[in-house]
Each structure stands twice: as structure tokens, then as C-alpha cells.
Amino acid sequence: MSFKKLLFNQVSEDDMARASLDFLMFMRLRRSVREFSNRDIPIEVIKNIVSTAASAPSGANKEPWHFTIVRDPVVKRKIRTGAETEEKAFYTHKAPVNWLKDLNKFGTNWHKEFLEVAPYLIIVFKQIYDLKNGEKYKNYYVNESVGIATGILLTAIHRAGLVALTHTPSPMGFLEKICKRPPNERAFLLIPVGYPADNAMVPDIQKKYISDYCEII
């Protein structure tokens, strides 16, 4: 493997502090949204968002991810049907009581209209092993790599002026079938993307303080 010189733009400490605070305040405005507008979005915006996610680091640079962008109403309908089937089972008899109690304050249920209303669904798949010409090759730190890429994806969605929801119907095998993915891939997250609906509401929650989740030693 060849190497090349790192392109690095150094900034002053004052600019660094200002930029880090500006970004913190910007990201604090990000919210998960369940009420979407059906207003269309240029496909180039969505492709740029996915390309940004794919800039993430990964174990041995294996890039063990695949992103399926869904905008076909027929496919979105199939995905909603599959998700609601799993979610209804979850809410009616699969979920532990404590889990349902924690979810109750958010007003969630098994109805997932947003899967058809949002103009795009981005489905993140993880590649549990690499598959080339019928041969299997090991991937490394797959969950960590795909998790980092998904975090960047959500940040890019917010930066583009859009909203999203990290939806995790369980199990998610129906997504692999609907999207006709190969046997080395497993659905990781289902993310509706779009503009918020007019007068969209979100839970009034508070994030932890830095002293609750960080220490300096």
C-alpha cells in the first residue's frame, strides 16, 4: 500500500473553541421526528448524505456497510407492512413490561405511518463478512464500523436541514428480503428522512450533563 501526505488545515485555538461550541449548539437542535412531511427532496441531497456516511473509518478499511435508498411508494408500502407486523407482535406480547413502560412516555405504538409519508427511507445494512465471487472474507469490528457510519449519516441529515428517525423493528429480516440483499448482509437500521410535518411535535426531553457521562483523568 502506498501513502500520501495528510491534508490538514490547522486553526487557531480561538477558532477551534468557537467552531466546537458552534457545532455543539447546532447538534443540540437535532431531534428524532415521527411526524414527516411528504415534501420531496432532490435525490442528490440524499446521495451526498450517504456518501458522507461512507467516509467513516472502519476496521481494516473494509467498509462493511451498504445503504439502500428507498423512494418507490410500492416498496415503502411493503416495508411499512413488514415493520408493522413485527411491531404489533412486539407491543402486544413480545416486549417486557418495563420496556413498554419506558416507551409509553414517548407515545409510540405499532402504527408506522411515517414509513410511507417520509419521501425517503435509508436502510443501513451491515456486511457480517465480505463476499466476492462466491468467496467469504472476514470483516472486522463490523458493528462498531457501521455504528460510526450511521452516526455520521444522522449528522449529515441534520446538517442538510432535514430530520430523521432511527427505527429498529425487530427482527428486521423482512428488509433483507424486500431489498433483495445478499446472504452476507443484515439490516442494521431503518431511517426515514425528510422535512418535519407542519406543527410536528417532539417529546420535551432533557439530555444528561457532561458531568454525568464524562470524566477527565
Whole-angstrom distance, CA of residue 34 vs CA of residue 196:
8
pLDDT, tens only, 57-100: 999 999 999 999 999 999 999 999 999 999 999 999 898 999 88
pLDDT, tens only, 168-200: 988 899 999 999 999 999 999 999 999 999 999
Percent of the chain that is helix, strand, coil (3-state, to 5)? 40, 20, 40
- As a whole-number percent, the residues of the chain with pLDDT over 70 amount to 100
pLDDT at residue 134 in the model: 86
Domains of the chain listed by start with CATH number: 36-197 (3.40.109.10)
pTM equals: 0.95
Is it true that the peptide bond before 171 is cis, omega within 30 degrees of 0?
yes
- Grid cell locating 116: 410511507
- Grid cell locating 203: 417529546
